[in-house]
Amino acid sequence: MAAVSWTNKMFGQCFRAARRTAGLKALRLLQHRTFRVGAVHWQQPFDSSLEKPQFPGASAEFVDHLEFIQPNVISGIPVYRVMDRQGKIMNPSQDPQLSKETVLNFYQKMTLLNTMDRILYESQRQGRISFYMTNYGEEGTHIGSAAALEPDDLVFGQYREAGVLMYRGFPLDLFMAQCYGNADDLGKGRQMPVHYGSKDLNFVSISSPLATQIPQAAGAAYAVKRQNTNRAVICYFGEGAASEGDAHAGFNFSATLECPLIFFCRNNGYAISTPTNEQYRGDGIAARGPGYGMLSIRVDGNDVFAVYNATKEARRRAVAENQPFLIEAMTYRIGHHSTSDDSSAYRSVDEVNYWDKQDHPISRLRHYMTARGWWSEDDERSWRKQSRKTVMEAFERAERRLKPNPELLFTDVYEEMTPTLNKQREALLRHVQQYKEHYPLDLYEKYIH
């Protein structure tokens, strides 16, 4: 018992935040901490004479009237923004005061991503690659958040975060190599297009199943916390993925384990093809944060500065305080969900045109730069021409490259090839030799022989 008393004295009682965001006052509630010592749970003592709830699962007061909590108790969470649609700063105190060079870099990365999307989308339509997903309309969420992170922060993406990787320095040649699955692809041609990854840039490879990255990010953030390396983890996902059970697991683990993790939800309105009014009830994704004990905020995802400010502050506090944050970036998917989708089946052309012409993150940032004399029509024409030329050159190089060695089908699973894999490899070799006229192995690097 002496050891227990000493432990309790050293740790004492600690505070947890019952957090409410966006206009709701943050309320600090005293919680009892349970410690595990010698396989026995010991709880801080409490005063049983007090006429208030002592249940360990919640912090509340007794009431003597029957009342169900309304679902809109945390409704109408406001949308934080810095710029209006014309690029005008609304509140000077919120201006991040970024340098001209930084803002130009934002704009050039956003437009370069847009140009790459157009070329690769058309490439798929021409049958040159098998699949593609554009980022039209969501460029501000990528660049604004990526710029607020540190280079060694770990990124878990979903499949529409190419701009984050581009901002970190991933070259066009590797984007193209991945989509073409050629010999330069870091994934060795094993993934379908847009499933990027880069160990050097701390960007975990994309996986197709929805929301699997969310609990993975929670585990990674817990490891980062234990290492005490001043790093954060950011996890991107869409509002559709937030309906998966993995989202609940990730939110709950990160909150209870107090992990330095930023959950970044791109709420673009339609998931794969399901509008938000059919996807959930309640006030979006940010409203879920308080239920898990997370600080949350809703931002204008088409305002790159609002995204930058929110992510930067969330990152600072996540690392300093070891706690998760939830950012819901409100934006709009202008393109189809993927090349397998026809969005005209579930939304109108007029709706899409509004977001494309009147509330686009790229045009908003351009208005900001033009008002400051940082960008002109000549600059725009020159940059568009140059960026298209750069993308097309990378595109052509990727198309000429050989495919990966087919033997790579069997590597990188075990340190040494297992008997079963060896049998499979030999069977493939026999098959290819027998039907060589159907396999253009001259298109592959170091083909099986």
Question: Coil, strand or helix: which one is 304?
Answer: helix
b/e sequence 11-35, b meaning 16+ C-beta within 10 Å: eeeeebbebbbbeeeeeeeeeeeee
Q: Which of 123, 198, 338, 387 is catalytic?
A: 338
Phi and psi torsions of 314, nearest 5°: -65, -40
* φ, ψ of residue 121 in degrees (nearest 5): -65, -45
Residue from 233, 107, 231, 236 nearest 167 by CA: 107
Between CA 310 and CA 147 the distance in angstroms is: 11
The structure tokens 């027998």 sit at: 434
Q: Residue 111: which residues within 8 A CB-CB, separation 6 or more?
A: 362, 383, 384, 387
Q: What are phi and psi of 159, to 5 degrees?
A: -160, 5
150 is known as an active-site residue: no
How many CB atoms neighbour CB 342 within 10 A?
Answer: 10
Q: By the 8 A CB rule, do 330 and 79 touch?
A: yes
Q: How far is 127 from 335, CA to CA, in rounded Å?
A: 19
Catalytic residue among 142, 195, 336, 337: 337
Indicate the burial class of 363 (C-beta count within 10 angstroms; 0-12, 13-18, 19 or more): middle
Give me the residue label for tokens 């709830």: 53
- Hey, which residues does 234 pair with through a beta bridge? 155, 262
The 8-class DSSP code of residue 288 comes to: G
The yes-or-no answer on residue 431 being catalytic is: no
Q: b or e along 237-267 (b: 16 or more beta carbons within 10 Å of the residue's beta carbon)?
A: bbbbbbbbebbbebbbbbbebbbbbbbbbbb
For residue 342, report the phi and psi dihedrals to the nearest 5 degrees: -125, 100
CB 267 within 8 A of CB 138: no
Could you say which of 5, 75, 130, 208 is catalytic?
208
Residue 318 tokens, joined: 């996540």
Q: Measure the CA–CA gap between 323 and 97, rounded to whole angstroms.
A: 27
CA distance 439 to 145: 45
Active site residue 208: yes
Which residues are known to be catalytic? 122, 208, 337-338
